[in-house]
Structure formats: structure tokens, C-alpha cells
Amino acid sequence: MSTLSETAPGPKPSETGRTLSTPVPAGPAALPVEADEVAFDIKNFSLWYGPRQALMDVTIKLPARKVTAIIGPSGCGKSTFLRALNRMHELTPGTRLEGSLQHFGRDLYGPGIEAVAIRRRIGMVFQKSNPFPTMSIAENVLVGLRLNGVRDKAVLQERLEQSLQMAALWDEVKDTLNRPGTSLSGGQQQRLCIARSLAVQPETLLMDEPCSALDPIATAKIEELIQTLRSSYTVVIVTHNMQQAARCSDRTAFFYMGKLIEFGDTRKIFTNPSNAQTEAYVSGRFG
């Protein structure tokens, strides 16, 4: 099994079945597409911020090319869990972890593995849209590619259009690509951020409450977008909004007090959960 650091930043494995991928040589570890292929295989994963344990012994298998929603009350560790998936938590000083975390069979925390290489494959969209204020719409989309050394104008142009199309923003901005990214509305900015993440062609997209700062119409657009992303991407979305989880996810994981309480089919979690705490939470009795 190859490790991330060996393959990045060269051709990516497991790009089969991806609509967005430009022709690249097949990677050494190209994986076949299966019905229940596992994107993240996480075993006995615990995480501490200093003395405080934020995640306790989480074992879970997140499916590839499906939308997994992470729900739970504030402070239950769901954002921490999400940020551990592409090692963004390392920006917080004093974190420590145990257990194993694999992404398409590759260890994310093995010796010598670089967080930078991981984040190229596992993108992230944040709660608050954050287009770079000094850059135009086009520059925002392409910044990840440019800073990773892509200079070919034709490739950049193609990725620009593809990414904005995927993010369902192309029609709205195609005539104003040189205007500042911050000139867009809140919902458009968030879709711009999604396009920016897609432009570097990740395998997986992590979304940390991507709609919590948006109005219902903008939220509906993003949810629709998540539905279309599902065919080519593995999406993991943290949400406070249980209707949203029910509407746009295939699987749902319920976290409480740093523990994974229940994980399963979204429909089952919301209609017939096996755990009493899950039932209390999804029916709105606490949280």
C-alpha cells in the first residue's frame, strides 16, 4: 500500500469514476469502485486538546462517494472529528491523538506523512465563507492550483470553468470573473469557496456547517449542490440543522460528549434509531 507522501503531489490514485478528473496517468494504487467502498476507515480514534479529551475511542467507516452527516449538540466533538480528517486540528497547539485513521487505505497519521499533501486530497469548506479579499473571483478559484505550481493557462482556464460549474456558480459569475470575490453575496461566496476547494481536485470534501450563516434560499442551493457532488466526491458534512442532515445525507453519525453514539443509514437514524440518546436528540428533546 502506498502512502500519501509517496504519491503526492504527482498523479492521484483512485480517480476512477470521477467526472471532474482531467486525464492523468493512473496512480499506483488505483482502487476499483465498489458499492460500499470505504473512504475513511477510523479505528479507536481519540483526541485531546491539552488535558481535555475531545474525542473518545471513535471507530467508524465512512463510505466513499456518499454524503455522511455528522450531527450532535455543540461541543460534542463533531467539528474536531471533521478537522482531524484532514489534520486541520493541528493548527490548534497542544493536540494529541491515538488510534488509526486511514483514507482510501492510506494512513493519514503515519510517520513522514505530510499534512499539506493530505489536504490536497481532502478539501474543506468552512462555516463562514472566506474568499481571499485581495483576489478576484477567478483568482480565488485558482489560487490552490497556482500556489501548487500549475502554470499552464489552458489547464487553469479549464479548471476555472469546471470548478465553478460544479459549484453551480458559473452562470452567475461568468461575466464578472475579474471582480473581487468579496463582491458576491453570502451564498455565492460560499459556493465560490466550494469551487475553490474543488479546483485542486480533492477526493473528499469536508464541510463544517457550510450553511449556518446563509439564508434558506442560499442553503437550498448549497444542499442541491451537495447532491450533485455525491456522484464524484466523498462528502462529510457537519451540521447543526437536523433537517439538513435528513435532506441531503446518505449516512448519519451522531456524536455526543466526544463519543460516537450511533452511525447508520440517515433514514434509519431519523426514523428508527437504535439508541435512546440518538432518538432524544433527533426528536428535539435535547441538544
Residue of the chain from 66, 106, 120, 221 that contacts other proteins (CB under 8 A): 120
Give yes or no for residue 49 binding other proteins (CB under 8 A). Answer: no
Burial class (CB in 10 A: 0-12, 13-18, 19+), 56: middle
Q: How far is Cα 39 from Cα 41, in angstroms, rounded to an integer?
A: 7
Positive or negative torsion for Cα 196, 39, 257, 93:
negative
Name the minimum Å distance from CB 131 to other proteins.
8
Smallest distance from the beta carbon of 268 to other proteins, in angstroms? 31
The grid cell for 107 is 494512513
**Which x/- pattern over 135-174 shows residues binding other proteins (rule: CB under 8 A)?**
--------xx--xx--------------------------
Report CA-CA distances (Å) from 107 to 16, 110, 141, 231, 243.
Answer: 20, 5, 29, 24, 33
Residue 60 one-letter amino acid: I
Selection from 247, 248, 273, 243 nearest residue 261 by Cα = 273
Q: Work out whether 124 is an interface residue with other proteins (CB under 8 A).
A: yes
Q: Which stretch binds other proteins (CB under 8 A): 29-37, 53-61, 103-111, 118-126?
A: 118-126
Footprint on residues 183-202 left by other proteins (CB under 8 A): 193, 196-197, 200
Site residue total, other proteins (CB under 8 A): 26
The rounded distance, in Å, linking the Cα atoms of 82 and 210 is 13
Q: Are 240 and 210 in contact (CB under 8 A)?
A: no
Residue type, 251: R
Binding mask 87-116 for other proteins (x = CB under 8 A): -x--x------------------------x
Binding status of residue 132 toward other proteins by CB under 8 A: yes
SS3 state of residue 149: coil
Query: Taking a C-beta distance cutoff of 8 angstroms, is the pair 253, 238 a contact?
Result: no
CB under 8 A: which stretch of 10-18, 104-112, 123-131, 162-170 binds other proteins? 123-131
Nearer to other proteins, 13 or 123 (CB): 123
Q: Considering only residues 78, 103, 106, 121, which one is a binding residue for other proteins as defined by CB under 8 A?
A: 121
- Interacting residues with other proteins (CB under 8 A): 9, 86, 88, 91, 116-121, 123-124, 126, 128, 130, 132-134, 143-144, 147-148, 193, 196-197, 200
